[in-house]
Amino acid sequence: MSCELFERLGIAGDERLASPGAPGTITVTNPATAEPIGAVRLDDERAYDRVVAQASESFARWRSVPAPERGQVVRAIGDEFRKHKTALGELVSLEVGKILQEGLGEVQETIDIADFAVGLSRQLYGLTMPSERPSHRLMEQWHPLGPIGVISAFNFPNAVWAWNAMLAAVCGDTIVWKPSLFAPLTAMASNAIADRVARALGHPGIFNLVIGADQVVGERLIADSRLPLVSATGSCRMGKHVGAAVAQRFGRCLLELGGNNAAIIDQTADLKLTIPAIVFAAVGTAGQRCTSTRRLIVHESIMDDVCRRLVAAYKTVRIGDPLKDGTLVGPLINQRSVDGFLAAIDAAKQQGGEVLAGGAKAEVAGLRGFYVQPTIIRAPKSNRLAIASDETFAPILYVFSFKTLDEAIAMQNGVAQGLTSAIFTDSVRAAEAFLAASGSDCGIANVNAGTSGAEIGGAFGGEKETGGGRESGSDSWKAYMRRQTNTVNFGTELKLAQGIRFD
Ligand code: UN1
């Protein structure tokens, strides 16, 4: 295992590290080589309870630290992530197989959200409203919420935690993080960096980690009324379960679930810009972003041209070792994902789809990892392909044609999920129609920019089966606080609202 990387990240002596195969541990596999890179001891129920007790205890102190001072702690954490950007980016690549550029981009996203959170620490504004009663003040305040649960997926093993953790920390909450069991090492390193900095500044127990099986730790976490908010990223199926369990105890949920994102290309689109945007969004992270473009909806007049250009571009995409310069597509996370990829292609073919590019496993010399070929499948003449309604977490792009923009928008909206969407056009009318109330029904709708790669400054999340949550920028911080409305009577008489007399 890359002990040197662990040294650099300060987790070489972490007591969770174990030898592969030891009882009570999970083996971490490098998806590029299918070889074990380490093992991590799993938490049981008792360890979970200890962690949540600690997060509750530290919350009782942390909530009374002035928010701008909390911001200073987060500022120092952001600086520490800057120092460790390269090492952590490498660990992300090693553990989940995304190319180094994207591993580094992910850590940059963490640095960006930390900066954002620092500014926010002086802007947790409440409103004051004119009171209908004389000598009364009506206002609201935002108070810290509590220790919050964060459940994250393998594909953004560092940044999605940071979206939650950096905001939650300035909001005065403590964090209990349950990372994906495919990426526990990145979680250990990320949490250790944040905890080390906070501890040195006199604030232990803000950032907490539980690594354990869903059935043991996950079930406990979602049912735990000590955690007033659970922010969960993962599949729609997982979200339905988490949402129901948290609602059962009147907890709050922030759900960031699957996407089945489409891009529309109309007849006025600038293809020089459009084609690379589609390729990045469809094959980047080997199609394993919740924001990946999975469906392309192309005006019939440019269909052949777009397909030809895309196929040519796909031929230039280098599949290989994610840590090697020049690689654009790394492996999928595991064999199950490869099987899911192959099953989706089989289904598409049976449904009349035509494979224009890829369509099979990929061989990379010297590496036994979980590689597949980025794939383009054109829908049959009927323009229907049932399999395209599923989110397959792999680089498969289904291509459909349209005649009118209304028809294209209806197709784009015609799936269960509603995360991201895009239109490529030079027509102001088409762009505005896409963004209008009757346009895209997604949480994110872009013009001449791909479906993936959102900046942290905007609120991130989606509608329908994507779960409705919003994380990251804008006013997403409100999810991590409780709103309190205050009426203050500074007069000498008791006045009742609604003009009620009660003499
Ligand atoms: C995810 O795939 O869960 O917009 C998050 C993007 C990234 C975040 C993706 N900034 O693609």
The enclosing domain of 220 has a CATH number of: 3.40.605.10
pTM of the model: 0.97
Question: In testing the pocket of ligand 1, which one of 111, 151, 289 has its CB within 8 Å of the most ligand atoms?
Answer: 289
253 with 268, same domain: the answer is: no
pLDDT digits 0-9 by tens, 306-356: 999 999 999 999 999 999 999 999 999 999 999 999 999 999 999 999 999
pLDDT confidence of residue 20? 83
310 with 433, same domain: the answer is: yes
Question: In testing the pocket of ligand 1, which one of 96, 98, 156 has its CB within 8 Å of the most ligand atoms?
Answer: 156
Query: What is the per-residue DSSP string for 278-320?
Result: HHHHHHGGGG-STT-EEEEEEEGGGHHHHHHHHHHHHHTPPBS
Neighbour-count burial of 354, counting CB atoms closer than 10 A to its CB (0-12 exposed, 13-18 middle, 19+ buried):
middle
The CATH number of whichever domain residue 341 belongs to comes to 3.40.309.10
**Cβ-based neighbour number of residue 65 at 10 Å:** 16
Any domain includes 498 = no
pLDDT digits 0-9 by tens, 371-416: 999 999 999 999 999 999 999 999 999 999 999 999 999 999 999 9
Tell me if 286 CB under 6 Å of ligand 1: no
411 with 475, same domain: the answer is: no
203 with 311, same domain: the answer is: no
pLDDT confidence of residue 1? 52
Number of domains in the chain: 2
166 with 292, same domain: the answer is: no
**354-357 and 375-378 strand pairing:** antiparallel
366 with 429, same domain: the answer is: yes
279 with 358, same domain: the answer is: yes
Copy the structure tokens of residue 222. Answer: 């979602």
**CA 14 to CA 388: how far, in whole Å?**
43
Tell me if 165 CB under 6 Å of ligand 1: no
Any domain includes 415 = yes
Q: Which ligand 1 atom is at minimum distance from the Cα of 455? A: 10
Domain that holds residue 92: 45-257+467-484
Tell me if 233 CB under 6 Å of ligand 1: yes
278 with 247, same domain: the answer is: no
130 with 251, same domain: the answer is: yes
Tell me if 155 CB under 6 Å of ligand 1: yes
**CA 470 to CA 233: how far, in whole Å?**
11
Neighbour-count burial of 125, counting CB atoms closer than 10 A to its CB (0-12 exposed, 13-18 middle, 19+ buried):
exposed
pLDDT confidence of residue 88? 98
